[in-house]
């Protein structure tokens, strides 16, 4: 049996299983019923591992062990496997969320905060910078900075970037605005993203900008996140943000932003 590596990779990611598991599972799917030895040969998995892996697949609900000798395994219909995996993932996620909720307000979190505060105090502010990979991670970091904003948030972005930020960061914008933070967004306004201008009324000032094509955010004139890639040409997973806690650099970016903001 030959299964493309691309398919195996997708199955591993979607079903959260390892390489041996996915190889034996797909081998069994192609046979319906089979012994561990037969599956080992088909899937190119060492026989010494096949029984353990098949036992794990049985516990996860991918296969059923057939009664009798020699021991054989029966493939569960893929649609049923999807439902079982969804249920397991949901239960696991809920348990992890509960564990994390217990950390809030606990001595453990206090210890972590103390470690972080003491560690940061030893670092030269000019050295506090980082590379944030992936658009979701970039937005998570922007949300963190906005939670701590005290006076200003300036955003220059693209047409699509404005729509994405208005949608993903709306709760953060609302909370910052309630604290009195002034939020300004310069971006190309089109029919496609006009609804987000309306959604941000009373929360942020939005101005049409086609003069400068750039993607960056400054917070309180101290923190800057610059997106270095063209969002039309990069997959969201590979988007890249450079974060710098450098007031001198932030003031330069704010100066450029204010210049664009004043343009008619």
In this prediction, residue 116 carries a pLDDT of 65
Q: Domains, the chain, ranges and CATH?
A: 5-81 (1.10.10.10), 128-262 (3.30.870.10)
Average pLDDT for 55-70: 89
How large is the average pLDDT for residues 31-56?
A: 93
d(CA 13, CA 53): 17
Sign of the torsion formed by the C-alpha atoms of 178, 179, 182 and 188: negative
Query: How do beta strands 223-227 and 216-219 pair?
Result: antiparallel
Tell me the mean pLDDT in the region 219-234.
94
Instruction: Work out whether strand 152-156 and strand 182-187 pair parallel, antiparallel, or are unpaired.
Output: parallel
Say how far apart CA 228 and CA 249 lie, in whole Å: 15
Cα separations (Å) of 157 from 2, 132, 220? 46, 17, 18
Report CA-CA distances (Å) from 110 to 100, 107, 264.
Answer: 14, 5, 50
Looking at 33-37, 113-117, 211-215, which range is the least confident one?
Answer: 113-117
Does the structure show a pLDDT above 70 at 130? yes
What was the pLDDT predicted at 70?
A: 87
Q: Cis check for the bond before 96: say yes or no (omega within 30 of 0).
A: no
In angstroms, the CA 196 to CA 189 distance is 9
Whether the predicted pLDDT of 133 surpasses 80: yes
CA distances from 163 to 118, 122, 157, 186, 219 (A): 38, 39, 10, 12, 20
What are the tens digits of pLDDT across the range 228-264? 999 998 999 999 999 998 888 999 999 999 999 998 7
pLDDT tens, 85-129? 999 899 899 999 988 888 887 887 777 777 766 665 555 555 557
Q: Which pLDDT score is estimated for 125?
A: 53
How far apart (Å, rounded) are the C-alpha atoms in residues 34 and 166?
53
- Report which DSSP code applies to 76: P
- Of 90-94, 115-119, 204-208, 212-216, minimum mean pLDDT range: 115-119
Whether 30 shows a pLDDT value over 60: the answer reads yes
Closest CA to 73 of 95, 57, 90: 57
Q: What pLDDT shows up at residue 245?
A: 87
Q: Do residues 34 and 55 lie in contact, with contact meaning Cβ atoms separated by under 8 Å?
A: no
Between helix 135-147 and helix 170-178 the angle, nearest 10°, is 10
134: pLDDT strictly greater than 90: yes
Residues 6 or more apart in contact with residue 214 via CB below 8 angstroms: 156, 256
What's the mean pLDDT when you consider all of the chain?
Answer: 90
Query: Taking 60 as the threshold, does the pLDDT of residue 26 lie above it?
Result: yes
């Amino acid at each position: 049996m030959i299964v493309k590596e691309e398919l195996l990779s997708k199955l591993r990611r979607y079903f959260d299983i390892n390489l041996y598991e996915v190889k034996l599972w797909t081998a069994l799917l192609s046979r319906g019923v089979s012994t561990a030895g037969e599956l080992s040969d088909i899937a190119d998995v060492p026989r010494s591992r096949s029984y353990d892996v098949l036992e794990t697949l049985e516990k996860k609900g991918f296969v059923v062990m057939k009664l009798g000798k020699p021991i054989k395994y029966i493939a569960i219909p893929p649609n049923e496997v999807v439902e079982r995996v969804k249920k397991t993932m949901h239960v696991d996620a809920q348990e992890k969320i509960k564990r994390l909720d217990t950390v809030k307000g606990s001595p453990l979190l206090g210890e972590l905060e103390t470690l972080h505060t003491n560690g940061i105090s030893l670092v030269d502010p000019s050295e506090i910078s980082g590379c944030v990979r992936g658009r979701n991670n970039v937005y998570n970091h922007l949300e963190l900075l906005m939670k701590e904003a005290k006076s200003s948030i300036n955003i220059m972005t693209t047409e699509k970037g404005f729509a994405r930020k208005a949608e993903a960061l709306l709760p953060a914008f609302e909370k910052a605005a309630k604290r009195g933070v002034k939020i300004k967004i310069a971006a190309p306004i089109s029919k496609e993203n006009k609804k987000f201008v309306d959604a941000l009324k009373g929360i942020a000032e939005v101005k049409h900008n086609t003069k400068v094509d750039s993607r960056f955010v400054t917070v309180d004139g101290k923190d800057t996140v610059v997106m270095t890639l063209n969002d039309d040409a990069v997959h969201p997973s590979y988007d890249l943000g450079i974060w710098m806690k450098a007031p001198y650099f932030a003031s330069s970016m704010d100066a450029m932003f204010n210049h664009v903001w004043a343009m008619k």
